[in-house]
Amino acid sequence: VRRYETFELTFQGEPPNGSNVDVDLAATFEQAGIRTEVRGFHAGDGRYIVRYLPLDDSPCRYEVRGLFEMHGEVDCGTASSDAHGPVRAVGTRFVHADGTRFLAFGTTVYALLHQKPALIERTMATLHTAPFNKVRLCIFPKSFDYNQNEPSRFAFERIDGAFDFDRPVYVFWDELETRIRELDRLGIQADLILFHPYDRWGFAKMDRPQCHVYLDYLTRRLSALPNVWWSLANEYDLLDGFAPEWWVGFARSIRASDPVGHPLSNHNFLRFWDFSNPDASHCSLQSSDTHETQNLLRRFGKPVVFDEMGYEGNIPHPWGNLSAFELVDRFWKAFVNGGHATHGETFLDADEILWWSKGGELKGESPARIGFLKSLLESLPGSLEPVPSGLADADDPFEFIRKELENPDSVLFGNPVFQHLLTITEEEMRRMLRFFRVTYGRIGDQVRLRYFGRECTALGTLDLPSDATYTIDVVDAWNMTRRTVRTDASGMVEIELPGREGTALLAIRNEA
Amino acid sequence: VRRYETFELTFQGEPPNGSNVDVDLAATFEQAGIRTEVRGFHAGDGRYIVRYLPLDDSPCRYEVRGLFEMHGEVDCGTASSDAHGPVRAVGTRFVHADGTRFLAFGTTVYALLHQKPALIERTMATLHTAPFNKVRLCIFPKSFDYNQNEPSRFAFERIDGAFDFDRPVYVFWDELETRIRELDRLGIQADLILFHPYDRWGFAKMDRPQCHVYLDYLTRRLSALPNVWWSLANEYDLLDGFAPEWWVGFARSIRASDPVGHPLSNHNFLRFWDFSNPDASHCSLQSSDTHETQNLLRRFGKPVVFDEMGYEGNIPHPWGNLSAFELVDRFWKAFVNGGHATHGETFLDADEILWWSKGGELKGESPARIGFLKSLLESLPGSLEPVPSGLADADDPFEFIRKELENPDSVLFGNPVFQHLLTITEEEMRRMLRFFRVTYGRIGDQVRLRYFGRECTALGTLDLPSDATYTIDVVDAWNMTRRTVRTDASGMVEIELPGREGTALLAIRNEA
């Protein structure tokens, strides 16, 4: 038993008579004065398991009730050096239980679980060397373009074409667990997609009680795994049969059954889920509007993850034929604005193995650049927060301009063009503000990171605090280079840039 | 005297006593039964000129009235082989008076006239080999970033700091005319910008009568030059002192004084001018929303010119640091959608000579690609019109989807995702429709041109008429190559593409 590693108690008995999900098995774990209630699950063939994830390394007492009764105490070892514990949202950031910062560099392999074992092995081998630390994958199989293969098994038994959600297919769940644990060993979070609309088997037409039986088994079984995330759905708003209150209920139910408090969110097609929901840990978005990050951070006070922002690839669908640079550019914008992002890859393949849903090998040029960004950000002494860019981020741009015009200290004081802007419509203002957007992050007064995106400017400015000196690097997001150009910068500085797309300026405060 | 070449009658007398603009000199020209009334102008030192642009090659009778009286008749020669006559808008297209198609491949040298002669000569030399056939240039000097040089002369006399618009500075107008004629020899339209807000001398604060005096001299003097266009303003909506009805009055007044009917429009900062104005020949836009072309063509029934869509360059302003590819991409989208576009270049320069306002040499990589596009389009047997892309261009996308869902012959018949789309908001629909946009033009059933822009698809489809065969070329907009891949295509065809940005498919119907 070690801190941050799943501790389990196994019991052998008779298989359940009725529901194989709703079994009468519960336990209380107590560690460092904190009591945690968990429920057990049937793992097949009369094998029952109770699981607990120690978040502390003090001795652990437990008491099992129901079908089996037992109690005991075990010592709990310290965490292994590469185990940091489950990820949680703390304010607008993710951190592991041990306080280690977590920047979510995701990728997407939707139907990873529903491929042949050899392909899953190839996918895992790829992930071993890829830069990603989160994978989005579906519990249920996927039916969509390039995704027509029948899965070898489902999560629940199918009897006469209908699923019996009280009867898990244990070999499926064993395999799922194996893969989640394998991901954990690779340092990768398993962002489990619980529902999705791309279905031909009936999972998109489940009724509400069926959904809750499924979620019951899911949480009993997987909550004690350290690297699990709950993504209620991919494109929840396309599941027309699922009323809005269902999702609220699913979230509440998972929260009640998951003592660890894994990250939980819900991913949209067009309409963002309501992330003010108290059970939502973060904003999970299908969107490439990375300039909205700051607004979302302010509005919800939770981390913002661009979980689907288009894929590097060459399929005819416009969301699946981004250039590598375009995806890398979106990653930079998401992270420098204080968010997180998820990759995907959709290259046509003779065997119809597209990474985005089936895995296999990565063919694109974006992963290396994403890895470069990840290393760069992880080397910084904290998490970026967006630098408010004034006008472009103002709640009321008209009011902002009015104040600047009247402020003798402002560069806009009395400016006639800005005077004019007070007379334009809101829609015109929105269009104009596009030109005032900057992608600019900071870590307190220690770090400034400004990313110029597709702008090919040959001059970049930074407004550094004038009470310290900074070392400034010019960073090339595509060529993955970083070159120090100033070691003593202070106050407002102007730096010569190569005038290429994908350029950033990084300023780090020198030690006093 | 030749068709499409300015014919002028010169008279020597006393300089005007009062206004040097409102001189009592008019003439009637009659050719092929068509009578044209013109007014003359004072060209300095008591020299008076009456001008006429013959649009026919039949004998021309004329009668001069006012300060000078004379009448006569001259034979009029046929047009020289490279003179096609003034450009006019016919429906949504531009054509020269002789029927030759005109695709406006513009560039921008705002303050061309206000530079030293040696620089103007360099600019003209550059234009000689550049692909552009329209130049936007200002009558009044410009005061803006990188534009601080004082002009050597103004269009009107300045007395005690105030301009007297009844006193043209003749040497300025002579120089202007020289440059317009020089442009004409290069086959370039002079898109004259009559007002603009970037001013420190007082031109942006003229009163309405002053404006009309200026326009009176302008039209008397320049209307008979074949290659003149009237752009009422650059960014008219930033001229806060100019009430909306002024612009309507300016247009009406120019139309009344310009017997040739040169193209006339008004260019915006944020708010498009009302192009339904009967005196507007075309839509002149500051915008890069090229996907709006089709809507504008339908709404106004006039040519659409993206006269300012950002500039290739490397200055810090976001509108002035587009990559060459980005500008080329915008050109392709404008033209394939049935519009026209204007180039500009803003590279930092030790001498502050940026092409976009001062001219000099072109440094960028876009002009060659723009030239490639121009040659390709001019080689086609007509003008492109947009292929309606269905949903993305529907007036009412909800209604469009409703009909498709109910149509058993539609690929969308009963589609659940599209069923869902009936429930979304208008704003959500707008966001979603971005994915349905195609850049697709046609010339009747003779030509199809589909441009994939930044999409890196490796498969492109064309829906060709099935009653003919077509030759299909894969075109690379950046590398300027064109490669025939099919010679007998018909109906719905799918073509392998390189999966790079800037790829187009061109299908031309084979002769029967």
pLDDT score at A64: 98
Cβ neighbours of A315 in B, within 8 Å = 457-459
**Inter-chain touch A321–B461, beta carbons under 8 Å:** no
Measured between beta carbons, the chain B residues lying within 8 angstroms of A271 are 424-425, 428
Tell me whether residues B270 and A432 touch, CB distance under 8 A.
yes
**Average pLDDT score over chain B:** 96
Nearest to A270 among B238, B323, B432 (CB): B432
Comparing A186 with A413, the larger pLDDT belongs to A186
Burial class (CB within 10 angstroms; exposed 0-12, middle 13-18, buried 19+) of B224: buried
B318·A435 Cβ contact <8 A: yes
| Average confidence (pLDDT) over A29-38 | 96
Give the tens place of pLDDT for each residue, A178-190. 999 999 999 999 9
- Percent of chain A's residues with pLDDT above 90: 91
Contact indicator for A262, A248 with CB cutoff of 8 Å: no
Whether the ipTM is more than 0.85: the answer is yes
pLDDT tens for A437-450 read 899 999 999 999 99
Cβ contact B271–A428 (<8 Å): yes
* Mean pLDDT, residues B61-85 taken together: 97
Closest Cα in chain B to A269: B432
Q: Is the dihedral of CA B126, B131, B133, B139 positive or negative?
A: negative
Q: What pLDDT is recorded for position B412?
A: 83
Which 394-423 residues of chain B touch chain A by CB within 8 A?
416-417, 419-420, 423
Range from B109-123, B354-368, B375-389 carrying the lowest mean pLDDT: B375-389
A-B contacts at Cβ under 8 angstroms: 98
pLDDT band at B128, cuts 50/70/90? very high
**Residue B131 per-residue DSSP state:** S
CB contact under 8 A, A316 and B457: yes
Query: What is the pLDDT, as a whole number, of residue A176?
Result: 98
The pLDDT of residue A411 = 81
Q: What angle do CA A340, A341, A346 make, to 5 degrees?
A: 175
pTM of the full structure = 0.95
Contact A470, A433 (CB under 8 A): no
Asked whether A319 and A303 are in contact (CB, 8 A), the reply is: no
The answer to whether residue B447 scores a pLDDT higher than 90 is yes
Is the pLDDT at B389 greater than 80? The verdict is: no
Chain B residues within an 8 Å CB radius of A457: 314-316, 321
Interchain CB contact of A323 with B (< 8 Å): yes
For residue range A257-295, list pLDDT tens digits in order.
999 999 999 999 999 999 999 999 999 999 999 999 999
Band (B85; pLDDT cuts 50, 70, 90): very high
Residue A101 pLDDT > 80: yes
pLDDT band for position A165 (cuts 50, 70, 90)? very high
Map residue B334 onto helix, strand or coil: helix
- Contact status, residue A40 vs residue A23, Cβ threshold 8 Å: yes
Which of B286, B330, B456 is best to mutate for the A interface (most A CBs within 10 A)?
A: B456
Question: In chain A, what percentage of residues exceed pLDDT 70?
Answer: 100
What are A137-147's pLDDT values in tens digits?
Answer: 999 999 999 99
In order, the DSSP letters of A160-225 are TTEEEEEEE-HHHHHHHHHHHHHHHHTT-EEEEEEE-S--SSSGGG--HHHHHHHHHHHHHHHTTS
Residues B51 and B174: their CA atoms lie apart, in Å, by 15
Q: Give me B134's structure tokens.
A: 């329209």
Report in angstroms the alpha-carbon separations of B313 from B74, B127, B355.
Answer: 51, 18, 10
Work out the mean pLDDT of chain A and round it to a whole number.
Answer: 96
pLDDT tens digits, B198-252: 999 999 999 999 999 999 999 999 999 999 999 999 999 999 899 999 999 999 9
Q: Residue A403's beta-bridge partner residues? A: none
What pLDDT is recorded for position B49? 98
Instruction: Supply the pLDDT for residue B415.
Output: 84
Q: Give the CA distances from residue A409 to residues A406, A413, B196, in Å, rounded to whole numbers and listed in that order.
A: 9, 7, 28
Partner-chain residue, chosen from B420, B428, B461, that has the shortest CB–CB distance to A240 = B420
The residue of chain A with its CA nearest to that of B326 is A454
Average pLDDT over residues A4-20: 97
**For the segment B267-301, what is each residue's pLDDT rounded down to a tens digit?**
999 999 999 999 999 999 999 999 999 999 999 99
Residue A470 predicted with pLDDT over 90: yes
Are B315 and A459 an interchain contact pair (Cβ–Cβ within 8 Å)? yes
User: Residue A47 above 90 pLDDT?
Assistant: yes
Residues pairing with B23 in the sheet = none
Q: What is the pLDDT of residue A412?
A: 83
* pLDDT of B472 strictly over 80: yes
Asked whether the predicted pLDDT for residue B57 surpasses 90, the reply is yes
